[in-house]
Amino acid sequence: MSFLELPLELRLIIYEHAAVEGAAVTIGACELTGKGADLVHRVYGDERAPLPGLPPMHEPAILDSYSSRLLSVSEPARIDVSSPSSNPPDHVAPTHHSTLSSLLLLNHQINAELSTHFRRKNNKKTSLFVQFPLGLHVFKTKCPDFVRQARSIHIAGSYPKPTTTKQSPQLDQLAHLVSATLGKSPRYPIEKLEARIYFPGGDSYPRVWDDSSPASVILRNVCGGFIDMEVARGRHGTGIYVSVRPHPDNKRVISTVWRRLVEGDNGQPTCGDWAVDKQWPEWNKEFAPSSPLP
């Protein structure tokens, strides 16, 4: 008996097991370190190949739990492939995470059944935590269908001074994600989108408001919503926290507060620590100011 010959009720149960059911999923990329031969085997062994679009010696990471380390700016996630305790190459991509995407591509009938089933149930309960910028690329290329089950999306990372005037592909991916979830007639409505982006450098404040900055990309692609922004300015960098919630009348209501960012000097938090909210994976549906750094 083929899969499509099974009763619809049984197929829907199978679809449920294929879906992401965890309360939190973290998506990003890890830098690989270690000896040359070990690195080559990790990247190319057993007919593997690097994910196009990632920097050299980086590996996609999709975790079915919350990982502040994968989102960290001050201590980026790294894997020593020469260490006996290093994880195997597939440690970040459990097979059930890719099953839903594969099912959607099988044929039109399965795609329609999946889309109708999850839209009717409307029981989204997964929070997606996405590393910026590389996590957006991993999200789009490895698991774009996770947005179907997302209740909320939380983005964290760093945006250094661009070395070229050309907009990065990750900013295009950010624009697409915001438009799909909080744009006009969103395909995948969510309860909240948060982005905490750190701009390194004492002269970084003007870059926050550049047309090509992540904050500007988010603002341009939100059709209507409660938009709360918090700008933290410091000696070593600037952080911007953007919180967006849908507005019942599709209006734009914007508020902004400015705070002092204390970091980088003796006895102070490390530069970039601000990018990861200390309360995550817990989050408030309403806007909540950043918790003070310890």
- Considering the domain boundaries, does residue 151 fall inside one? no
Q: What angle do CA 140, 101, 96 make, to 5 degrees?
A: 110
Q: Write out the residue range of the structural domain in which residue 4 sits.
A: 1-126
Say if residue 120 is in the same domain as residue 164.
no
Say if residue 55 is in the same domain as residue 168.
no
pLDDT at 96 exceeding the cut of 60: no
| C-beta atoms surrounding 53 within 10 Å | 16
Say if residue 246 is in the same domain as residue 163.
yes
Mean pLDDT of 92-110: 52
pLDDT at 187 exceeding the cut of 70: yes
Mean pLDDT of 140-162: 92
- Considering the domain boundaries, does residue 251 fall inside one? yes
Q: Are 150 and 126 in contact (CB under 8 A)?
A: yes
Say if residue 76 is in the same domain as residue 190.
no
Q: Are 234 and 263 in contact (CB under 8 A)?
A: yes
What total of structural domains would you count in the chain? 2
Poorest-pLDDT segment among 40-54, 180-194, 254-268: 40-54
- Considering the domain boundaries, does residue 139 fall inside one? no
Least Cα distance to 121 among 154, 151, 153, 152 occurs for 151
Q: Which token pair is 49?
A: 């190949």
- Encode 178-191: b = buried (16+ Cβ within 10 Å), e = exposed: bbbbbbeeeebebe
- Considering the domain boundaries, does residue 294 fall inside one? no
The separation between the first and the last C-alpha atoms of the chain, rounded to the nearest angstrom, is 60
Dihedral of the alpha carbons of 143, 164, 259, 219, in degrees to the nearest 10 = -60
More confident residue, 55 or 8: 55
**Rounded Cα distance, 11 and 53, in Å:** 35
pLDDT in tens, 213-240: 999 999 999 998 999 999 999 999 999 9
- Considering the domain boundaries, does residue 293 fall inside one? no
Confidence of residue 95 (pLDDT cuts 50, 70, 90): very low
- Considering the domain boundaries, does residue 131 fall inside one? no
Q: Which token pair is 279?
A: 């309360």
- Considering the domain boundaries, does residue 206 fall inside one? yes
pLDDT score for 89: 45
Poorest-pLDDT segment among 41-55, 114-128, 263-277: 114-128
pLDDT in tens, 123-137: 568 899 999 999 999
Say if residue 193 is in the same domain as residue 121.
no
More confident residue, 99 or 35: 35
More confident residue, 255 or 42: 255
Q: Are 148 and 181 in contact (CB under 8 A)?
A: no
Say if residue 21 is in the same domain as residue 103.
yes
Say if residue 8 is in the same domain as residue 101.
yes
Say if residue 1 is in the same domain as residue 122.
yes
pLDDT score for 81: 87
Residues linked to residue 127 through DSSP beta bridges, in sequence order: 24, 152
More confident residue, 205 or 121: 205
pLDDT at 179 exceeding the cut of 90: yes
Say if residue 114 is in the same domain as residue 197.
no
Say if residue 116 is in the same domain as residue 198.
no
- Considering the domain boundaries, does residue 92 fall inside one? yes
- Whether the upstream peptide bond of residue 133 has omega within 30° of 0, thus cis, is yes
pLDDT at 86 exceeding the cut of 70: no
Whether the model pTM is above 0.75: yes
Say if residue 23 is in the same domain as residue 81.
yes
Which of 9-18, 115-124, 181-190 is modeled with the greatest confidence? 181-190
Say if residue 119 is in the same domain as residue 19.
yes
Chain-centroid distance of CA 128 in Å reads: 6
